[in-house]
Amino acid sequence: MKVFAGNSNRHLAEAICKYLNVPLGNATVRRFADQEIFVEISENVRGEDIFIVQPTSFPANDHLMELLIMIDAMRRSSARRITAVLPYFGYARQDRKAGPRTPISAKLVANLITEAGADRVLTLDLHAGQIQGFFDIPTDTLIAMPILARDVKEHYDLANLMVVSPDVGGVVRARSLAKRLDCLLAIVDKRRDRPGESEVMNIIGDVAGKDCILVDDIVDSGGTLCNAAEALLKNGATSVTAYITHGVLSGGAVARIASSKLRELVITDSIQPTTSVQSAPNIRVITTAALLGEAINRTSLEQSVSGLFD
């Protein structure tokens, strides 16, 4: 088994290697003057079980191309098996035709990864479960919920806790956390007028006097979370904290969250935190290295990955 990484999130790749007690593979991923990507594998990988850790976060197209070229380089170097490890799968929000004459880009990206030569995919908290079916190769989707639940237990009094879904579409995810914590569930009913903006309409459930935990898979602009926090506090919530797997946090999201009424935003390191995220007073990052590392180890040993969540 050998683990390699592109430039997307080397810190996470190094943490995974530390968990596995293996060195990070020696590979050069650089750009020519015209920004073409060049990859050179600087060690023998013939007959090896290869894992490439590369979330396709911002800039998504560059990091996706790095992944595809690394897969191709491994295939041409006679690797025995290549697993693309995508802690964050970019383009996942384009999982259906949202209107006439629009693409299903998540399927296109799945095809690109397959055709590049990947034998397996290992990812974390896909935006929509059906994306697994877009791949024609074995795909394991890990869930960050056990990590999030453990952190909530360490920081909150469960007797006064309420889990909240920021929209109707996230109810299944919120119910899963509420079941793990054995607490009540509420839902924020919102109306989205245009992409990137949302208007909170009402709260389904009694949140008065409760410490509320908003849970979702992706935070991008942060508008939904900030609006939901205001609505919950207006309805009598004592505090509002958000637990999100993928901290995309594009544009002015960090500043928006820092000045919001959120007590704290907790995200994982599936996307490498920027300097602004690390310095934000109310954003905290927890690691997924042990979860991904154990999944990689079990995959290499041909053991059950789903057994991690039994």
Catalytic position from the list 2, 97, 107, 190:
190
Over residues 203-218, the mean pLDDT reads 93
Range of the domain at 210: 145-287
The answer to whether residues 37 and 152 belong to one domain is no
Sequence-distant (≥ 6) Cβ neighbours of residue 137 within 8 angstroms:
114, 118, 119, 120, 121
The answer to whether residues 78 and 158 belong to one domain is no
> Which residues define the annotated binding site for Mg(2+)?
127, 167
**Structural domains counted in the chain:** 2
- Quote the pTM value: 0.92
For residue 196, what pLDDT is reported?
Answer: 57
For residue 194, what pLDDT is reported?
Answer: 63
Residue in this structure with the two tokens 């799968």, named with its chain if needed: 89
Residue in this structure with the two tokens 């607490």, named with its chain if needed: 183
The answer to whether residues 87 and 66 belong to one domain is yes
The answer to whether residues 153 and 117 belong to one domain is no
Note the pLDDT tens digit of each residue in 9-65.
Answer: 999 999 999 999 999 999 999 999 999 999 999 999 999 999 999 999 999 999 999
d(CA 214, CA 186): 9
For residue 83, what pLDDT is reported?
Answer: 97
For residue 117, what pLDDT is reported?
Answer: 96
SS3 38: strand
The answer to whether residues 180 and 219 belong to one domain is yes
d(CA 134, CA 144): 21
| Among 209, 206, 205, CA closest to 159 | 209
pLDDT over 90, % of the chain: 81
Could you confirm whether 190 is annotated as catalytic? yes
The answer to whether residues 39 and 89 belong to one domain is yes
SS3 content of the chain, % helix, strand, coil (to 5): 35, 25, 35
The answer to whether residues 151 and 137 belong to one domain is no
The answer to whether residues 88 and 189 belong to one domain is no
> Which residues define the annotated binding site for ATP?
34-36, 93-94
- Write the CATH number for 281: 3.40.50.2020
Provide Rg for the chain, Cα atoms.
20
The answer to whether residues 297 and 283 belong to one domain is no
- Asked whether 163 and 181 are in contact (CB, 8 A), the reply is yes
The answer to whether residues 196 and 303 belong to one domain is no
- Asked whether 296 and 84 are in contact (CB, 8 A), the reply is no
For residue 128, what pLDDT is reported?
Answer: 84
Angle between helices 10-20 and 289-300 (to 10 degrees): 60
Instruction: Tell me the two tokens of residue 70.
Output: 């690394």
